[in-house]
Amino acid sequence: MNILLGAVSGAVALLFLWGSWIVAGKGVAVLRGARRDMAASATAKGTCVGAGGTRHSYRYVTPDGATHVAYVARTGSLDTPKVGSTALLRYRRDDPKVATTFATTMIVVPLGGAMTLMLALFCAAAAAVCGFLAVALMARF
């Protein structure tokens, strides 16, 4: 019986290790994308010119004096700006029509990547516990 439990525990440990590898890869990809987005974007203060639905329209001026209107995705149920209100935006330097809110680019996405890496660490710790359990159960035989 111990051999069977040890083998099952070893299989679960391998599954946790595989899951940790996959999740860590996703977390690293998110952090790399966030770093790339932060490096390729600039901050501007935008004025809401249209609100509603799943996107809001913001007008902002880039340092070269050009005025742009960008559609910014709604970030949640509490994201209900009034027309005329202002928000900090991050826009891409190579394509100023692509913009997100400052908090999304600078806080939420990197935090999500860090939390994904924490999940990978949890999976690795669970794999270690299952591995030790497998060794302990098989050593008793």
Please give the single-letter amino acid code of residue 105: T
SS3 assignment, position 138 = helix
Q: How do residues 99-126 score in pLDDT, each as one tens digit? A: 888 988 899 999 999 999 999 999 999 9
CA distances from 10 to 36, 55, 93, 109 (A): 39, 48, 50, 35
pLDDT in the model for residue 121 = 96
Indicate whether 25 pLDDT > 90.
yes
pTM over 0.85: no
